[in-house]
């Protein structure tokens, strides 16, 4: 309790100094502190810890004594329990494998990074490369800045439960620049890559439906490919070159009054100044971008856009269907399977930094969809990874009512009885209303039934010749 009281006093004192320029007398602060401590102590005495709190403290002690670590699994709401030593070992193995992190020892780089960031943005403003308003948006308040922390999310649906690194840097000195650049550049990418990228499973179903109406046969194959460690493996300078090509291809010499070279300089500054803390040591990321920094997603998408050009052009030439969602690629094609295997090997040589792991067959599990070609009939279902578990929200929570109501509604729609099927004739394709809003976990739109009725099944759609 003493730590919380000290934090309250510090914030109150800081607010008076920052906003009003007042320095509160120590005697007044001490009186307030004593009064607050007495009030909290009285509340504690009147309301002793509940049984639930006792159980929680007991559980916390067991976790600490057994060195157990609890993490929410990657791409799901399931909690994963593991040993702390095992997690550390996997983290070290990942860092050694990627060679993307430089050990800085115990020296905290926060102060120097704050000064470097402010000097850089001030220099741009002084030389009139950015406006006063933009400078105010980018400059760092030293007292509010924190070095990023690296943590890992277990991929429970994959063999041996590998880890995905996430850099938590909401108060990192470069986060404001990263957010601003992402706002400037992401619309360019969305416009340029509109024909080869998808946002969710619902959009993919519609495109598959349209393509199948003309090209589906009993031998049509699916190819799904995954890029290994995309964010980490992109070379930093290669990412900046991708942004340059993105702007040049879009015929943009400046955005929001900021010239292309300044945008590239800012992007390079963000990419090359990712520092974080992990297990008592400080590190600098020297390869790739930080997963958790807004700009990294746009750089990764831009980099992959230019890598995938040969694949996209091949798909057009062969009347195949091609789409990508960040690091997941999807293809439907009537090309022979043996030829497809050779193509995957060739595509793996397009860029030394991009490693594609592929699956070819008559069934595809992609995002939250499972699509199967049964002799010329396509069957689509909502797909759940093996680690998927339902999510429960107490009705007494403070969430809005429409959220509470939509959770059971969406859960019913994602049920999996195979006998509920919607058949769509190939010669007269229609879009199944109940597939609208199928999400891959990043799009939180809830399935919507215009009639207001609950539909008691997950959608299963088939296309017939």
Q: What is the pLDDT of residue 1?
A: 65
> Which residues, listed in sequence order, are joined to residue 360 by a DSSP beta bridge?
223
Measured over the CA atoms of residue 297, residue 300, residue 303 and residue 304, the dihedral's sign is negative
- Residue-wise pLDDT for 87-114, tens only, equals 888 888 888 888 899 999 999 999 999 9
- Residue-wise pLDDT for 31-88, tens only, equals 888 888 888 888 777 766 677 677 878 888 888 888 887 777 766 666 777 788 888 8
**Distance (Å, rounded) from C-alpha 130 to C-alpha 128?**
5
Q: What is the CA radius of gyration of the chain?
A: 26
The tokens for 254 are 């400046």
Q: What is the pLDDT of residue 227?
A: 94
Answer yes or no: is pLDDT of 443 > 70. Answer: no
Q: Are strands 369-374 and 79-83 parallel, antiparallel or unpaired?
A: unpaired
Which of 43-47, 139-143, 447-451 has the weakest average pLDDT?
447-451
**Distance (Å, rounded) from C-alpha 430 to C-alpha 436?**
12
Q: What is the pLDDT of residue 147?
A: 92
- Residues 364-373 have a mean pLDDT of 89
Q: What angle do CA 453, 457, 459 make, to 5 degrees?
A: 105
Answer yes or no: is pLDDT of 419 > 70. Answer: no
Indicate the DSSP class of residue 49. Answer: P
Give 129's Cβ-side CA count (13 Å radius). 14
> Which residues, listed in sequence order, are joined to residue 224 by a DSSP beta bridge?
330, 359
Answer yes or no: is pLDDT of 431 > 70. Answer: no
- Residue-wise pLDDT for 280-311, tens only, equals 899 999 999 988 889 999 999 999 999 999 99
Q: What is the pLDDT of residue 18?
A: 64
- Residue-wise pLDDT for 113-125, tens only, equals 999 999 999 999 9
Answer yes or no: is pLDDT of 362 > 80. Answer: yes
The tokens for 125 are 């403003």
Answer yes or no: is pLDDT of 174 > 60. Answer: yes
Domain spans, the chain:
61-415
**Distance (Å, rounded) from C-alpha 432 to C-alpha 413?**
13
- Residue-wise pLDDT for 381-410, tens only, equals 877 666 555 556 666 666 677 777 777 776
Q: 443-447 contacts: CB < 8 A, separation 24 or more?
A: 443/199, 443/200, 446/406, 446/409, 446/410, 447/409, 447/410, 447/413
Q: What is the pLDDT of residue 75?
A: 64
Asked if 371 and 378 touch (Cβ cutoff 8 Å), the reply is yes
Percent of the chain with pLDDT over 70: 80
| Average pLDDT, rounded, for the chain | 81
3-state secondary structure 244-313: HHHHHHCCCCEECCEEHHHHHHHHHHHHCCCEEEECCEEEEECCCCCCCCHHHHHHHHHHHHHHCHHHHH
Check residues 53 and 134 and name the one with the higher pLDDT: 134
Percent of the chain with pLDDT over 90: 48
Give 63's Cβ-side CA count (13 Å radius). 12
Q: What is the pLDDT of residue 306?
A: 96
Confidence of residue 458 (pLDDT cuts 50, 70, 90): very low
Q: What is the pLDDT of residue 92?
A: 85
Q: What is the pLDDT of residue 448?
A: 36
Which of 8-22, 201-215, 358-372 has the weakest average pLDDT?
8-22
Q: What is the pLDDT of residue 394?
A: 64
Give 397's Cβ-side CA count (13 Å radius). 11
């Amino acid at each position: 309790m003493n730590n919380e009281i000290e934090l309250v006093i510090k914030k109150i004192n800081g607010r008076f100094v920052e906003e009003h320029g007042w320095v509160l007398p120590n005697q007044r602060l001490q009186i307030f502190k004593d009064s607050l401590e007495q009030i909290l102590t009285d509340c504690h005495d009147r309301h002793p810890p509940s049984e639930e709190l006792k159980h929680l403290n007991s559980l916390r002690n067991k976790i600490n004594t057994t060195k157990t670590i609890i993490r929410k699994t990657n791409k799901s709401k399931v909690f994963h329990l593991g040993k702390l030593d095992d997690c550390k070992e996997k983290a070290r193995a990942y860092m050694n494998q990627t060679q993307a992190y430089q050990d800085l020892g115990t020296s905290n780089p926060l102060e120097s990074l704050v000064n470097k960031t402010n000097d850089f943005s001030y220099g741009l403003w002084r030389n009139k490369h950015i406006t006063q308003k933009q400078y105010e948006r980018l400059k760092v308040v030293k007292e509010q800045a924190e070095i990023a922390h690296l943590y890992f999310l277990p991929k429970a649906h994959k063999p041996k439960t590998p880890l995905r690194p996430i850099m938590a840097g909401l108060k990192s000195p470069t986060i404001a620049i990263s957010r601003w650049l992402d706002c400037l550049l992401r619309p360019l990418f969305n416009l340029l890559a509109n024909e080869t990228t998808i946002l969710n499973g619902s959009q993919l179903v519609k495109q598959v439906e349209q393509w199948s109406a003309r090209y589906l046969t009993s031998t049509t194959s699916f190819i799904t490919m995954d890029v290994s460690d995309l964010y980490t493996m992109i070379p930093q300078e290669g990412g900046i070159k991708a942004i340059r090509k993105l702007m040049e291809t879009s015929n943009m010499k400046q955005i929001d009054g900021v010239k292309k070279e300044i945008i590239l300089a800012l992007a390079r500054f963000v990419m090359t100044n990712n520092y974080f803390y992990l297990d008592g040591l400080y590190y600098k990321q020297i390869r790739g971008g930080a997963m958790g920094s807004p700009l990294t997603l746009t750089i990764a998408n831009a980099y992959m856009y230019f890598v995938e050009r040969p694949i996209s052009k091949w798909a057009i030439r062969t009347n195949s269907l091609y789409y990508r969602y960040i690091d997941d690629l999807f293809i439907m094609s009537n090309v022979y399977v043996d030829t497809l295997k050779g193509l995957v090997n060739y595509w793996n040589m397009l860029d030394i930094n991009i490693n594609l792991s592929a699956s070819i067959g008559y069934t595809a599990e992609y995002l939250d969809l499972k699509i199967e070609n049964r002799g010329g009939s396509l069957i689509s279902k909502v797909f759940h990874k093996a680690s998927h578990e339902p999510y429960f929200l107490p009705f007494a929570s403070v969430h809005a009512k429409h959220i509470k109501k939509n959770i059971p509604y969406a859960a019913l729609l994602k049920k999996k009885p195979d006998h509920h099927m919607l058949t769509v004739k190939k010669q007269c394709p229609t879009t199944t209303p109940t597939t609208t809003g199928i999400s891959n976990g990043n799009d939180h739109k809830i399935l919507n039934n215009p009639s207001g009725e609950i539909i008691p099944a997950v959608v299963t759609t088939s296309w017939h010749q």
